[in-house]
Each structure stands twice: as structure tokens, then as C-alpha cells.
């Protein structure tokens, strides 16, 4: 029996370690995942928080500035009804699927000055092209 | 008018349902004729699926844009190979392709077992056909692939350019073969539970299938990683995306299963645990398909969008309830016939390896579904990104790597101090010394200083095992070393093939360590002629090349790679602008050496200022991942290869058992 007990102690240690790692991992690296609607609604409470916001790139809002210090990109992430939006600053490589009118997910920090500084901009994975095709079909001129 | 494809799918549904009912009735009433009829129906479902697939292919190849699927995922200018792979480029086609693989595998299983396992087979047929029924229901009612449009577009919207890639041609088939392969052990496990024949017959029968599934899951994951690395252009190969996790989780539990069945075979222990792993693996494959196909996790507006979601959840719930119910019902018959002899033994190493693998699977699962859970519990969607997965899995992965080294070297049952001294200490010492050397060479990262020496410990152990095996053969049979090595592997492919797989695993660990710790990254905006240092290289931007074809506009940066003042390479990272559908794609340019990849991306180019923004990465050891994958595939092929001497070591043979191998 003691052998079994020893093994169980080892197993319990492992399970404990996994639990702890998962718990600590969640606490340290979780960010709010919001639609732009929700974000705009309570953005005042989100200052300096890590957020991940899903919205649509407003038509005509993308501005790109290339200077010797790098490429800076600005665009407005809007509500799905395109009424209101938040300004996003991003320096980095854009995913290929990024375009005006597309749905994107922006991860970054929302600052007091009302600008969402993005660490990353994601578009939907191409294996979910399905949704993409549907959107272009319904949303705007399909190519 | 109904087309032949839809007709085939409708008939297939009827026949699949018939096969489920008849095989169950036949088994309960002991009516061989009904069981035979069910099997024939199962073959017929395969035939009908082939017809449906052939029809869809014909529509694709003949560019019948009146069909919604063809219009959505192909065009008249799409090359033939991609037109064919458009079969799995979209939702409906993917599910149809899944069904094709499932029914094909079902037919092979039926053929293999015409004379064998007759008591189990009716239930095996029933379980596999239930899964077919599920996919056929979707294909008939939720995502019919042959839907026609009210009008005929002049041109299709084309396959997403990102999917027009070599690796995307072979990644989905591999992954699906892996997914579907997991259904076979599951079906046999269920049959064993229902019939109460819970000996190791079902495990022996499905061992090759489990390996088959594992082989393709491994390849599927690797091909996907390779695709991400080459196509997505962010410098990495793994981002803990839900879709990636979906493919990774069943791989983890399947790996656990491959190890723990050995204990059941040798010691008649862990019967419940193995059942749990089989069930878990199967459910995870369905869950994975669900994650990939429905987009539950990554889309913020939950899965009410597609009718697929609830349907999948329903099926998952049904299968979980059925399989867990059966398992609980049979618990009394699943008593272990043995107990663990000692904590210091191969059995317990395997047990811990299993716990760690399942722990990793759990962590990945938790991180993947966390947004859904947090929304349900707290009303806010909270997501955890790659840092979560890395933090949790790095320590667990290293424990696993260590156990990979210990497992093969420690004795079954109880390892005495003597055998530990003899088998375990030398490789541990080598690992330790390598660590000291690395510190001496200036390596300061704790993670790397754990990972590399641990890997070297594992490799040393494997080399030692081979060496001893060869020496034993030489001593006894007097063969030359090469022949002895060859015979050694041939005589005990399961063991020595397994070691080769371990070598591949260590290589993958080296690659993961190298890329996650020593990766260098730089974004720089340059004018023509400007150079900048990157790692041991100097890169010089030589200007832009532009090219235009009717379908694609190309923008190519010319980047000279200099080493010690001499040009060694000219890289041309590229941006393509597809004109239809309008979409840019990034084509990375890589200078790959065994030590590291120099990975360049053209971020953007400004026509007015002629400035180009480049994103440059140095990815140390990344090629070890691809070579490691090849090594794993080779090892698996050795283990799985049919025929040959089917040999197993007796459970408690002495350690130098090279010659003492007995046939079953």
C-alpha cells in the first residue's frame, strides 16, 4: 500500500503543479475579449488594461506612414453599424487578410488619450474562409 | 431536379442508419445474416461517398459555377492541383472529405476483420457508422455541398490565396487521416465494453490503427506548422491558435495511449485509464473538427451563427454520455490484475508520462475554451494568449522530455540501485557535463540550460541502448556491427523504432527551445543601398523589383546577405497582390541552414519615398523541427510496418534482452 501511496503523492504533486500553472497562467496573461460594441460601451473602465477587441476596419480610415523609423499604421476600428469607433495605432507587419471593411481582432492596451495601441492585429484564420466569403457576399461588393 | 451527389448522400444516410440498426439487432439476436447485411450497407455507404466526392471533383474541375461551393472556392484560372484541393478548402467539402476518409477506413477495418473478432465486429460497425450518420446528417441537412445558386456567376471567387500552397495540399488530408484513425480504437473499445470481452484483444487489434492515427496526427501538425511558417509570415510556426490546439490535443492523448497500452499488455494494469484515453482521444478529434469548422472560439459572437455548432455539441454530448456510461457500467470488469511494484520502475515512469501528457492536454484545452467558460461563468469573455500556453507547457514539456529519457532506461517492475547506476547514471552524467560546457560557452538562459542537457541525456540513453543491443548480438551471433544493428531493429521494431521516434521528439524540443529563447527579430525601414547587421549576417537592401501578370502584381525586395563581408545569398521577400479576389499575400524568403534560419519579410513598400520596411528574424535550430518530424515519421514507419517478426519482450526479461526475444 505504501508504494501505491507514494505513487499517489507523486501524482498529486503533478496534478497540483498543473493546476497551479494553469491558475497562475490565466491570472497573468488573460485579457478581456470584447466586441467593439462592448468596448466602446465601457472603455472608460478599460484604461491601461490589456484588451482584445473585435471590430471592423472602417472604410477609408487606414493611413500608413513609412518613415526611416518604421512604418506606422493608423485606422479606426468601428462598431458593426459604423457609427462610432476607436483609433488604433500599430507598428508592425500586417496580416495579409487585413483590409478596409474586414473584420479584425486588435490586441493591445487602451490608453488615456483614447488611442488603442495594438501589439497585434489578427484577421480570421484562412481556414475559416467560409465566414469571410459570407461576409463579402452580404456586407459589401464582393471583390 | 436532384443531382447525383445529393442523391448519393441521401442514400448514404439511409444506408448508414440501416447499418447501425442492423448490426446491433444482428448482434443481439445472433443473426449472422443481419450482421453481414449491415456490413454490406457499410461498404455501400463508402461507395456512395466516393460517388459524391467524385461528383464534387467533377464540378470543380469543369468549373460549374452554378454550384455555390465551386463558385466560392475555385475559379477558372485556378491551377488544377489547387482546384482538386479546393475539395477541402471550404466547410462543406471538408466535411465530405472527412466522411470519405471515415468510410474508407471503416471498409478497410471490415475487410481486415472478415474472419477475426467476429464477436466484436457488429458493434465496431455500429459505432463507426454512427459517426458516419452524424457526418451524413450534416451533409444532408446543414451544409449540403451541392447547393446550386439562383444564377450562374461568370467566375468563381477563387480559393483563398493563402491556401494555394504546397503544404496546404497535404496538411488537411494528413490531419483528417489522423483524426479519423482515432475512431477505430474507439470503436473497438466500445465493442469491448459492450461485449464485456475486455482482455487485451481489442488493444492488440487496434495497436496499428492507433499508431497509424498517431503517425498522421504528427505529420498533420507538422505540415500545418510548416505552412504557418512559410505562408503567414510572422516568423513563427505555432501560435496556440484554437485551430492548432484542436489538432494538438488528440495528439497528446494519443501519445499517452501509445505508452500506457504497453503496461496493459505487459501487466494487465491501467485498463480503465486506457479506456479513458481512447474515449478522450476520440472525443477530442470530434471536438477538434468542431473547433476548426465552427469558429466558436475565435469569433466573438458565439456559435449561434452556424447551425453546425449546436449539432456538434449535441453529438459530442451523445458520444460522451454513451461511452462514459458504458465505461462506468463495466468498471467491475476492468479491475487491475496487478499492482505497481515500485515507484522507481518503468511502469511508474510511464504513468507519470501519461499524467504529464494529459496535464498538457488539459492546460491546452482550458486555455482554448477559456473565453467560453469565462463568458458562461462571469459574463465577460476573457482570453488567454500564447504567453499562457508557453508558461504552462514549458515546465510540463521539460518534465516530459526528462521522462522520455528515463522510461527506456529504467527496469520494469522495480529498478534496483545497481541497474540505475548502470543504465541511468552514465547518460545523466553526459547530460550534466554538456550543461556545464554550455555554461562555459556563455549560455545563460535557464530554460535552455535545462532543455538542451536534458535532450542530450535522452539521446545518450538511446545511443547507449543501441550500442548495447548491437554488442550483445555481436557477442552471441558474431555479426558485423552494421548487420547486427539492422537485425537488432528488425527483430524488435517496436522498441528500437520507438527509440528513433524519441530522437525525433528530442530534435523537436531542440527546435522549440532554439526558436523560443534565441529568436532575434528586427523591423527596419531602409532605403536602397542601406545595410544593417542581423545576427552574424549583414543585410543590404538592393532595391525593389516589380512585376505584373494578369492575376498577380508582384513586389519583390532584393536583400543581399553578407557574411564576413562576402555576399552569400540574395533573398527576395515578396508581396503579391492577387487581383481576384483582391488580396495581398506575403511570400517570405528564407536562408536556411542547419543552425538557424534567416527569415525575411517585406512588410511594406512606399512608392513615393522608395523606402521599404523589412521584418527580419533569426530562428535558431528551426530546421530541427522539420528534420525531427522526418525522424519521427521514419521511426513510426519502422514500428508500424506490416509483417516481419512479431516479437515482444517477455515482461520481465533481463535487460540485455537482444537475443531473448520471443515471438508471441
* B434 Cβ neighbours under 8 A, 6+ residues apart: B452, B453, B456
Per-residue confidence band for B644, with pLDDT thresholds at 50, 70 and 90: low
- Select from A28, A66, A142 the Cβ nearest to the Cβ of B609: A66
Question: At residue B571, does pLDDT exceed 80?
Answer: yes
Higher pLDDT, B233 or B520: B520
In chain B, which residues have their Cβ closer than 8 Å to the Cβ of A32? 380-383
**501487466: which residue's cell?**
B267
Higher pLDDT, B253 or B422: B253
Q: Which three cell numbers stand for residue B648?
A: 515482444
Question: At residue A36, does pLDDT exceed 70?
Answer: yes
What sign for the dihedral angle of Cα B207, B208, B213, B219?
A: positive
Question: At residue B181, does pLDDT exceed 60?
Answer: yes
**B383·A35 Cβ contact <8 A:** no
**Cα–Cα nearest to B414, from B260, B270, B268, B267:** B267
CA dist A132 and B264 (Å) reads 48
In chain A, which residues have their Cβ closer than 8 Å to the Cβ of B391? 21, 24-25, 28-29
B166-181 and B201-227 helices, crossing angle to 10°? 160
CA dist B240 and A26 (Å) reads 14
Which residue of A31, A66, A99, A104 is the best one to mutate when testing the B interface, meaning the one whose CB has the most B CBs within 10 A?
A66
In DSSP terms, B576 is beta-bridged to B554, B585
> In this predicted model, what pLDDT tens digit does every residue of B91-109 receive, in sequence order?
889 999 999 999 999 999 9
Task: Determine contact: B341 vs chain A, CB below 8 A.
Answer: yes
In chain A, which residues have their Cβ closer than 8 Å to the Cβ of B380? 32-33
Question: At residue A1, does pLDDT exceed 80?
Answer: no
Percentage of residues in chain A having pLDDT higher than 90: 3
DSSP designation for A47: T
Percentage of residues in chain A having pLDDT higher than 70: 78
Residues B287-304 have a mean pLDDT of 64
Question: At residue B295, does pLDDT exceed 80?
Answer: no
Q: What local confidence, expressed as pLDDT, does residue B43 receive?
A: 98
Task: Determine contact: B610 vs chain A, CB below 8 A.
Answer: no
- Select from B339, B580, B613 the Cβ nearest to the Cβ of A71: B613
DSSP designation for A69: T
The CA R_g of chain A, rounded to the nearest whole Å, is 21
**A126·B162 Cβ contact <8 A:** yes
Which residue of A5, A10, A25 is the best one to mutate when testing the B interface, meaning the one whose CB has the most B CBs within 10 A?
A25
Strands annotated E in B411-507: none
In chain B, which residues have their Cβ closer than 8 Å to the Cβ of A18? 359, 362-363, 392, 396
Task: Determine contact: B295 vs chain A, CB below 8 A.
Answer: yes
In chain B, which residues have their Cβ closer than 8 Å to the Cβ of A14? 352, 355-356, 359, 399
Helix (H) or strand (E) holding B525: strand B520-526
In chain B, which residues have their Cβ closer than 8 Å to the Cβ of A129? 73, 89-90, 160, 163
Task: Determine contact: B170 vs chain A, CB below 8 A.
Answer: no
Task: Determine contact: B357 vs chain A, CB below 8 A.
Answer: no
- Select from B234, B362, B384 the Cβ nearest to the Cβ of A29: B384
Q: Which three cell numbers stand for residue B118?
A: 467476429
Q: Where are the domains of chain A?
A: 1-30, 31-123
**A93·B615 Cβ contact <8 A:** yes
Which residue of A6, A130, A142 is the best one to mutate when testing the B interface, meaning the one whose CB has the most B CBs within 10 A?
A130
Residues B505-528 have a mean pLDDT of 93
- Select from B90, B233, B527 the Cβ nearest to the Cβ of A129: B90
> In this predicted model, what pLDDT tens digit does every residue of B182-218 receive, in sequence order?
999 999 999 999 999 888 888 888 989 999 999 999 9
CA distance B383 to chain A (A): 5
CA distances from B445 to B191, B312, B438 (A): 51, 44, 10
In chain A, which residues have their Cβ closer than 8 Å to the Cβ of B585? 96
Cβ-count burial B163-185 (b if 16+ within 10 Å, e if not): bbbebbbbbbbbbbbbbbbbbbb
Which residue of B225, B238, B583, B617 is the best one to mutate when testing the A interface, meaning the one whose CB has the most A CBs within 10 A?
B583
Helix (H) or strand (E) holding A33: strand A30-35
Q: Is B526 helix (H, G, I), strand (E, B) or coil?
A: strand
- Mean per-residue pLDDT over chain B, rounded: 89
Task: Determine contact: B155 vs chain A, CB below 8 A.
Answer: no
CA dist A93 and A81 (Å) reads 27
In chain A, which residues have their Cβ closer than 8 Å to the Cβ of B160? 126, 129, 132
Residues B388-417 have a mean pLDDT of 89
In chain B, which residues have their Cβ closer than 8 Å to the Cβ of A128? 295, 298-299
Q: What local confidence, expressed as pLDDT, does residue B516 receive?
A: 92
Phi/psi at B372 (nearest 5 deg)? Answer: -70, -45
Is the CB of residue B632 less than 8 Å from the CB of residue B504?
yes
CA dist B623 and B511 (Å) reads 7
Closest CA in chain A for residue B361:
A18
**471593411: which residue's cell?**
A101
Is the CB of residue B308 less than 8 Å from the CB of residue A131?
no
Task: Determine contact: B525 vs chain A, CB below 8 A.
Answer: yes
- Select from A14, A68, A125 the Cβ nearest to the Cβ of B298: A125
In DSSP terms, B548 is beta-bridged to B553
> In this predicted model, what pLDDT tens digit does every residue of A40-53 receive, in sequence order?
888 888 888 888 88
B308-330 and B271-294 helices, crossing angle to 10°? 180
Within 530-569 of B, beta carbons closer than 8 Å to A belong to none
What pTM did the predictor assign? 0.90
Residues B438-451 have a mean pLDDT of 93
**458565439: which residue's cell?**
B302
- Select from A6, A14, A96 the Cβ nearest to the Cβ of B586: A96
CA distance B554 to chain A (A): 14
Closest CA in chain A for residue B387:
A29
Phi/psi-derived region of residue B564, left when phi > 0, alpha when psi is between -120 and 50, beta in every other case: left
Biggest alpha carbon distance in chain A? 72
- Select from A11, A93, A105 the Cβ nearest to the Cβ of B233: A93
Is the CB of residue A65 less than 8 Å from the CB of residue A82?
no
Is the CB of residue B149 less than 8 Å from the CB of residue B67?
yes
CA dist B14 and B6 (Å) reads 13
> Between chain A and chain B, how many beta carbons pairs sit less than 8 Å apart?
184
Residues B542-551 have a mean pLDDT of 89
In chain B, which residues have their Cβ closer than 8 Å to the Cβ of A16? none
Q: What local confidence, expressed as pLDDT, does residue B306 receive?
A: 59
**A143·B523 Cβ contact <8 A:** no
Within 49-88 of B, beta carbons closer than 8 Å to A belong to 72-73
In chain A, which residues have their Cβ closer than 8 Å to the Cβ of B521? none
Residue A138: burial class (beta carbons within 10 Å; 0-12, 13-18, 19+): exposed
Q: Which three cell numbers stand for residue B590?
A: 528564407
CA dist B165 and B180 (Å) reads 24
> In this predicted model, what pLDDT tens digit does every residue of A93-119 receive, in sequence order?
777 778 888 888 888 888 888 899 998
- Select from A24, A70, A132 the Cβ nearest to the Cβ of B525: A70
Pairing of strands A70-78, A85-90: antiparallel
Residues B243-270 have a mean pLDDT of 91
Residues B575-584 have a mean pLDDT of 80
Q: What local confidence, expressed as pLDDT, does residue B657 receive?
A: 39
CA dist B69 and B144 (Å) reads 9
Q: What local confidence, expressed as pLDDT, does residue B345 receive?
A: 84
Question: At residue B397, does pLDDT exceed 60?
Answer: yes
CATH (one of 2.40.50.140, 3.90.1150.10, 3.30.420.240, 3.30.465.10) for A31-123: 2.40.50.140
* B636 Cβ neighbours under 8 A, 6+ residues apart: B211, B214, B215, B218, B497, B501
Question: At residue B502, does pLDDT exceed 90?
Answer: yes
Q: Which three cell numbers stand for residue A104?
A: 479584425
Question: At residue A136, does pLDDT exceed 60?
Answer: no
- Select from B73, B163, B392 the Cβ nearest to the Cβ of A22: B392
CA dist B181 and B215 (Å) reads 10
Asked if ipTM goes beyond 0.90, one says no
**A3·B585 Cβ contact <8 A:** no
CA dist B70 and B153 (Å) reads 10
Amino acid at each position: 500500500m505504501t508504494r501505491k501511496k507514494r505513487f499517489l503523492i507523486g501524482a498529486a504533486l503533478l496534478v497540483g503543479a498543473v493546476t497551479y500553472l494553469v491558475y497562475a497562467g490565466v491570472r497573468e496573461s488573460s485579457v478581456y475579449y470584447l466586441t467593439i460594441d462592448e468596448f466602446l460601451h465601457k472603455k472608460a473602465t478599460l484604461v491601461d488594461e490589456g484588451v482584445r477587441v473585435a471590430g471592423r476596419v472602417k472604410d477609408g480610415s487606414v493611413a500608413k506612414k513609412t518613415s526611416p523609423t518604421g512604418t506606422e499604421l493608423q485606422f479606426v476600428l468601428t462598431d458593426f453599424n459604423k457609427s462610432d469607433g476607436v483609433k488604433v495605432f500599430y507598428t508592425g507587419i500586417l496580416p495579409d487578410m487585413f483590409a478596409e471593411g474586414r473584420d479584425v481582432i486588435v490586441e493591445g492596451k487602451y490608453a488615456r488619450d483614447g488611442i488603442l495601441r495594438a501589439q497585434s492585429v489578427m484577421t480570421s484564420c484562412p481556414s475559416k474562409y467560409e465566414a469571410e466569403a459570407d461576409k463579402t457576399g452580404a456586407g459589401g461588393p464582393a471583390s | 431536379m436532384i443531382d447525383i451527389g445529393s442523391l448519393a448522400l441521401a442514400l448514404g444516410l439511409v444506408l448508414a442508419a440501416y447499418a447501425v440498426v442492423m448490426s446491433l439487432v444482428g448482434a443481439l439476436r445472433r443473426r449472422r445474416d443481419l450482421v453481414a447485411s449491415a456490413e454490406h450497407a457499410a461498404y455501400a455507404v463508402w461507395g456512395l461517398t466516393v460517388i459524391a466526392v467524385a461528383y464534387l471533383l467533377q464540378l470543380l474541375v469543369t468549373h460549374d459555377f452554378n454550384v455555390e461551393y465551386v463558385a466560392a472556392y475555385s475559379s477558372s484560372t485556378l491551377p488544377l492541383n489547387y482546384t482538386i484541393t479546393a475539395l477541402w478548402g471550404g466547410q462543406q467539402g471538408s466535411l465530405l472529405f472527412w466522411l470519405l476518409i471515415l468510410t474508407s477506413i471503416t471498409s478497410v477495418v471490415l475487410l481486415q476483420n472478415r474472419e477475426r473478432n467476429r464477436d466484436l465486429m457488429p458493434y465496431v460497425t455500429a459505432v463507426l457508422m454512427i459517426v458516419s450518420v452524424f457526418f451524413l446528417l450534416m451533409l444532408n441537412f446543414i451544409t449540403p455541398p451541392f447547393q446550386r445558386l439562383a444564377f450562374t456567376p461568370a467566375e468563381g471567387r477563387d480559393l483563398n490565396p493563402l491556401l494555394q500552397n504546397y503544404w496546404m495540399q497535404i496538411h488537411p488530408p494528413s490531419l483528417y487521416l489522423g483524426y479519423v484513425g482515432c475512431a477505430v480504437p474507439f470503436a473497438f473499445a466500445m465493442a469491448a465494453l459492450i461485449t464485456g470481452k475486455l482482455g487485451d484483444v481489442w488493444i492488440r487489434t487496434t495497436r496499428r490503427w492507433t499508431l497509424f492515427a498517431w503517425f498522421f496526427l504528427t505529420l498533420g501538425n507538422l505540415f500545418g506548422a510548416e505552412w504557418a511558417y512559410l505562408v503567414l509570415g510572422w516568423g513563427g510556426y505555432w501560435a496556440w491558435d484554437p485551430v492548432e490546439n484542436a489538432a494538438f490535443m488528440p495528439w497528446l492523448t494519443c501519445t499517452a495511449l501509445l505508452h500506457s497500452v504497453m503496461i496493459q499488455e505487459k501487466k494487465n494494469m491501467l485498463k480503465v485509464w486506457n479506456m479513458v484515453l481512447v474515449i478522450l482521444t476520440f472525443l477530442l478529434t470530434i471536438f477538434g473538427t468542431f473547433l476548426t469548422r465552427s469558429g466558436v472560439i475565435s469569433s466573438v459572437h458565439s456559435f449561434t451563427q452556424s447551425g453546425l455548432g449546436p449539432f456538434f455539441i449535441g453529438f459530442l454530448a451523445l458520444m460522451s454520455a454513451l461511452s462514459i456510461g458504458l465505461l462506468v457500467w463495466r468498471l467491475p470488469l476492468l479491475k487491475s490484475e496487478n499492482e505497481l511494484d515500485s515507484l522507481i520502475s518503468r511502469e511508474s515512469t510511464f504513468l507519470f508520462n501519461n499524467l504529464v501528457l494529459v496535464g498538457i492536454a488539459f492546460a491546452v484545452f482550458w486555455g482554448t475554451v477559456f473565453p467560453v467558460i469565462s463568458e458562461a461563468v462571469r459574463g465577460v469573455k476573457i482570453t488567454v494568449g500564447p504567453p499562457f500556453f508557453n508558461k504552462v507547457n514549458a515546465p510540463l514539456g521539460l518534465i516530459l522530455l526528462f521522462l522520455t529519457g528515463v522510461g527506456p532506461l529504467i527496469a520494469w517492475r522495480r529498478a534496483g540501485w545497481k541497474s540505475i547506476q548502470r543504465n541511468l547514471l552514465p547518460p545523466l552524467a553526459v547530460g550534466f557535463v554538456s550543461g556545464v560546457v554550455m555554461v562555459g560557452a556563455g549560455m545563460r538562459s535557464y530554460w535552455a540550460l535545462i532543455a538542451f542537457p536534458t535532450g542530450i541525456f535522452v539521446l545518450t540513453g538511446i545511443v547507449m541502448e543501441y550500442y548495447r543491443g548491437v554488442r550483445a548480438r555481436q557477442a552471441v551471433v558474431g555479426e558485423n556491427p552494421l548487420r547486427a544493428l539492422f537485425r537488432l531493429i528488425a527483430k524488435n521494431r517496436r522498441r528500437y523504432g520507438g527509440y528513433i521516434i524519441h530522437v525525433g521528439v528530442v530534435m523537436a524540443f531542440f527546435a522549440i527551445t532554439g526558436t523560443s529563447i534565441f529568436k532575434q527579430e528586427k523591423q527596419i525601414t531602409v532605403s536602397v543601398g542601406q545595410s544593417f547587421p542581423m545576427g552574424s549576417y549583414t543585410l543590404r537592401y538592393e532595391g525593389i523589383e516589380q512585376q505584373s501578370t494578369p492575376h498577380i502584381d508582384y513586389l519583390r525586395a532584393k536583400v543581399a546577405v553578407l557574411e564576413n563581408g562576402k555576399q552569400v545569398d540574395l533573398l527576395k521577400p515578396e508581396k503579391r497582390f492577387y487581383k481576384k479576389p483582391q488580396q495581398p499575400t506575403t511570400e517570405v524568403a528564407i536562408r536556411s541552414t542547419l543552425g538557424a534560419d534567416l527569415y525575411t519579410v517585406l512588410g511594406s513598400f512606399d512608392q513615393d519615398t522608395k523606402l521599404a520596411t523589412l521584418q527580419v528574424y533569426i530562428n535558431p535550430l528551426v530546421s530541427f523541427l522539420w528534420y525531427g518530424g522526418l525522424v519521427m515519421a521514419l521511426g513510426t514507419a519502422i514500428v508500424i510496418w506490416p509483417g516481419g517478426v512479431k516479437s515482444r519482450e517477455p515482461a520481465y526479461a533481463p535487460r540485455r534482452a537482444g537475443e531473448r526475444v520471443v515471438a508471441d
